[in-house]
Each structure stands twice: as structure tokens, then as C-alpha cells.
Amino acid sequence: MKRIELRWQEILRLLTINSGRFVSGETIGKKIGVSRSSIWKHVRNLQQKGFFIERHTNLGYRLIYPDDSPLILKEEDFETKTFAKNLLSLVETTSTNDVAKEVANKVDEGTVIISEMQSSGRGRKGRNWISPFGCGLYFSIVLKPVIPIPTIPRLTILAGVCIGEALKKLGVSVTLKWPNDIMIGNKKVGGVLSELFLEGHHIKYVIIGIGINVQVDKKDFPYEIRSFAGSIKSETGKIIPRWIILKEIVSQMEHRYYSFCEKNGEMGDLRKLWEDMAFGLNKEVYITTGSEKELCTILGLKDDGTLLVRTEYGHIKEVYAGEVLF
């Protein structure tokens, strides 16, 4: 686990605030209390990590791209009470869910682990989650809910709703494809990977991993997934700074999570909110469960978070595990 150095973070913040403009070595030195030569050393490290920082002998340094790194955020930047008040900001890692698992026992609920890239990002069903440097959001939140175990899968629904609401606030409309996909049109732009860890009948912790393709270019997706993967930028043309998206999702998550726990894991208004954003509601799609594939109409969610569908023969079915295809 390579935690971002405090000095690197300070330099990135300064350059981001002055986005596109040069900041002299002297100014940076004064602000963060290091010599001009050591700034150059830190900048070289950042460049090696993949940050595009230009150096000009007379003018100083400027950030060319990315200028929206979530790593510039500090705990105090989050307008939350507990979520992200412990923040592990990594330049690279295998998977933020794995790091979360390593630290979960020792950290408070609401701890957020974020990385600029992941070398072994994971999705549902053991799939890879392509996590290139500088253009996506890859983070995990450690939760320690005291609610009935069967209600835990609803946290994936809750996370989807929070992502949808956060992006809507930022001017991007997404739909939610059961159980965990974030869609724009027919392209998957994000996903949620929830993992539950038990000790006997007791919940040790739950890790909610969120991946969003923000600025990922089509060419950065492997050929095999190019026809169904997309990013916010590729599907809407909008460039929204990743740190803004992160802050917004974390705020939404804190708010909805605590009210969910207060209601002992009841869905409450989550069901309706999810249905309002549902991908393919009242439309015919294929549902796969195991090796079976059936043409069905999506009717909505049940109060327990399972998907309710009508088969082409008119039977109403509850889907606990499976995939929606179109």
C-alpha cells in the first residue's frame, strides 16, 4: 500500500487550485515549508507516478492533466460527520476493497480508501475492474452496521441510489441496472462491489467498493468490453472533476446510510428512489440466473431489495441473484 506523501498532496493541491497556471518554486516552498530543490524532487516523483506536471525554469510548475485528482482532498474537505473523516489516499494499489479489508478491524466506520489506480480492481463474480490512472474513481468505504444480516444486500441498492443522486446533482443522469450497475444509455459507467465479513452470526464489517469511469477514453477499455463500457465523459461529453464527484457521493452515502441503520435496515423510500432511476423498468430484458436465460419485464424492486419481474408467460418471479441483459 503506497499512501500518498503529505508533501505530494500539498503540491498537488496547490497546483490544482492554480489550475493551468504556473506556481513558482518559491511560492510552493513557502506554503509547504520545504526547499526549492526538494520541491523538484517531489515533483519528479509525482511525474513518475503519472501526474503531468510541467516545469519551467523561470515560471515554476503547473499541472497539465489530471487536474481533478481525488487525492487532493483532505479529511476536512468533506462536509460529513464521520464518512471520510479517516481517509487513506493511495497513488496506486491492488484493489481498494482489499486495502479496506486489511485495515477494517483497526479503523472507524466511514473510513474511505481511495486510489488513483488499481492493478487488480475487482468487480462482481470475480470480473476485473479496469482502473487506469488519472481518469476514474476507485474507492471503498468501511461500514460496521448493526442491522439484521439479511438486510445487508440492500446496501448495494443504497449505494446505487446515492451515486445516482450525486451525479444528478452534478448534471449527469444515470440509470441503475440491477443489482449493481451504473448506466448511461446502454453503457456501464460504474459499479458497486459490496462485501460482507461475518464472525459467526455477527457482522464484522461491510466494504462498499465503488468504481466510476469518469474520464476514461474508449480506447482505454479492453477491446472485449468496449461495446458495453463507457465513461461519464465518453457518454455525455461532460468533464466533471473527480474530487467533486467523490465528495458528493460520500455525503449522500453518509446521509442515507445512517437513516437506513436507524430504520434497522428497512428499505423505506430507497425502493421508490431506486425504481425512479431503474434501467429497463417496465421493459423487456433477459434475466440470467445460473445457466437459465429468460425474457422478462422488470416490474420493480421488492421491499427486501430483490428484483421483481414478469416472465413472458405471465408468471411473477423474484430474482435474488442474476444478471439483467438487453
- Site stretch for ligand BTN (CB under 6 A), options 59-67, 144-152, 190-198, 217-225: 190-198
Q: Considering only CA atoms, which of 271, 257, 305 is closest in space to residue 145?
A: 257
Under the criterion CB under 6 A, does residue 129 sit at the interface with ligand BTN?
yes
Q: Does 124 bind ligand BTN (CB under 6 A)?
A: yes
Applying CB under 6 A, the span of 60-68, 208-216, 225-233, 274-282 interacting with ligand BTN comes to 208-216
Is there binding between residue 93 and ligand BTN (CB under 6 A)? no
Cell of 27: 511560492
Pair 150, 131: CB distance under 8 Å: no
> Residue 225: how many CB atoms within 10 A of its CB?
13
Residue count, binding to ligand BTN (CB under 6 A): 21
Buried b (16+ CB within 10 A) or exposed e, 77-111: ebebeebbbbbbbbbbbbbbbbbbbebbeebebbb
Query: Which of residues 29, 50, 123, 268 is near ligand BTN by CB under 6 A?
Result: 123
Which range touches ligand BTN (CB under 6 A), out of 3-11, 19-27, 116-124, 298-306? 116-124
Contact of 306 with 269, CB cutoff 8 Å? no
Residue 211 is a binding residue for ligand BTN (CB under 6 A): yes
Residue nearest to ligand BTN (CB): 191
Instruction: Decide if residue 138 touches ligand BTN (CB under 6 A).
Output: yes
What is the spatial distance between Cα 214 and Cα 211, in angstroms, rounded to a whole number? 9
Binding part of the chain for ligand BTN, among 3-11, 68-76, 90-98, 231-239 by CB under 6 A, reads: 90-98
Residues at the site binding ligand BTN, with contacts judged by CB under 6 A: 95-97, 118, 121-124, 127, 129, 138-140, 180-181, 191-193, 209-211
